[in-house]
Structure 1
Amino acid sequence: MQDPNEDTEWNDILRKKGILPPKEVPKEDEEEELAFQQQSVVKTYESMTLDELDENEDEFNEEDEAAVEMYRQKRLAEWKAAQIKNVFGEVAEISGQDYVNEVTKAGDGIWVVLHLYKQGIPLCTLINQHLSKLARKFPQAKFLKSISTTCIANYPDRNLPTIFVYFEGEMKAQFIGPLVFGGMNLKVEELEWRLAESGAVKTDLEENPRKQVEDKLMTSIRSSIPTWKDIDSEEEDY
């Protein structure tokens, strides 16, 4: 008896005429084909936008719902990230009345850097200039400034400049007074490093710029101190 699944020209003719049933597909081939179809469907999900996922929602069966929901959440997270990115980019001036909305209610995932200052204090002016540069470099963080006494009544001038760092309305770091900043020699990279340590920004600096300055200072001091050999040589001259 001839095998209907045998690959012969005669069997192919009989299949075309409907005399023989279609050739059976081996189980392994069926599994491979199913896996390929599922992979193709997943790739289709990955390529869809949020609107496309919603538009095609009725075409997905119950088995697809979990995959569709996963990609919907992924697209939603990407959309939220895009909304947050590049929202700020400058140092905004606020008063005490703005504090709750701008700081406490800044929003989920938002870092806030608030500088309390007063006009006429050179270090405050320098820090405002540095913060303007950092605000452009790190637009995902909210940079704010406020005249100290308009934000906090009777805030002492000796505490200026002051920087408060918040995340989702909770204070994470504070820098108070001129000594903390190192005076008028403060570099923008040093301030960037301080803010990065607090978590407010993601710096590309590899090490603390202040450490480099301190190392150079110590090297200079050591080179200016006379050694015992120098002292002995001076005594022999006498």
Structure 2
Amino acid sequence: MQDPNADTEWNDILRKKGILPPKETPVEEEEDEQLHLQSQSVVKTYEDMTLEELEENEDEFSEEDEHAMEMYRQKRLAEWKANQMKNVFGELKEISGQDYVQEVNKAGEGIWVVLHLYKQGIPLCSLINQHLAQLAHKFPQSKFLKSISSTCIPNYPDRNLPTLFVYRDGEMKAQFIGPLVFGGMNLTCDELEWRLSESGAVKTDLEENPKKQIQDQLMTSIRCSAHTHRDGEEDSDED
């Protein structure tokens, strides 16, 4: 005799026609479903409350309410952790032209991608790779990539190196092309971080542009030197 609870197309047809009774739900599944519905009901009751209101009503929580709330909290925490782990990178990854579509265009919704086109033997490229490795560790939610220019873009001119492309959702949001843009070998990691933060690729904790500090110090030094020079000339005239 055929089991009326078996998962078969024939039994499904018979159930739809009312010939067979609805499929029995295992006791464990029923309990899980009731607990889930209960947690939704409890959360819906209290989710609009402020912290003060929750504290005021805490004494009214039954043991079942607290269990349901804890179950919901653990579920949401697990979902958050899983989502965070999916979008953690933390290192400067080498790619080739064949990896471009997968690593850049399909990086994921809302993911910032920083791609460095470089060539071995160019000191500034090496410096930027060092800085990007540090920034990749500091900003693991952003994706940092490097690729030898000729393998990523055939015949890409060396005069344009180093080059940084910044993408989000497969669209280019910023580009930094050529050594003059970076200011040469004096480029610091903080300065590069600031430039990337201006494009949106990272959320920096720097309070102001490090380059501006250097420029301000330079201008102060020039003004002091000019002032000292004028004072020296005035003293000479008096003599």
Give TM class, smaller chain.
0.5 to 0.7
Q: Does 1:183 align with 2:206?
A: no
Given candidates 60, 68, 74, the residue that maps to 1:36 is 60
> What letter matches 1:231 in structure 2?
E
What is the CA-CA distance between 1:104 and the residue it aligns to?
0.5
Q: Matched residues in 1 for 2:63 and 2:195: separation?
A: 47
**Alpha-carbon separation, structure 1, partners of 2:82 and 2:110:** 10
1:160-208 C-alpha deviation (Å, 9 max, x unpaired):
1111111121111111111111111111111111112211112221221
- Structure 1 unaligned segments of length 5 or more: list them: 1-32, 53-71
Does 1:84 pair with 2:86? yes
Helix, strand or coil: the match of 2:136? helix
Give the direction of change, closer, same or farther, for the CA distance of 1:117–1:230 in structure 2 (3 Å limit): same
CA separation of 1:46 and 1:84: change in aligned 2, threshold 3 A: farther
The Cα offsets for residues 94-127 of structure 1, whole Å up to 9 and x where unpaired, read as: 1111110000010112111100111111000000
User: What is the aligned residue count?
Assistant: 182
Q: Which has the larger radius of gyration?
A: 1
Q: Which residue in 1 is equivalent to 2:235?
A: 233
1:117 matched residue in structure 2: 118
Identity %: 65
Question: What SS does structure 2 have at the residue aligned with 1:225?
Answer: helix
Residue 211 of structure 2 is aligned to residue 210 of structure 1? yes
Cα separation, 2, equivalents of 1:78 and 1:173: 30
Distance in 1, Cα, partners of 2:218 & 2:63: 62
Please, what TM-score do these two structures have when normalized by structure 1? Answer: 0.68
Task: Give the alignment of 1:1-238 within 5 angstroms.
Answer: 36=60, 41=65, 43-48=66-71, 74=76, 78-85=80-87, 87-226=88-227, 228-237=230-239
Match of 1:48, SS state, is helix
* Whole-angstrom CA distance in 2 between matches of 1:154 and 1:39: 69
TM-score when normalising by structure 2: 0.68
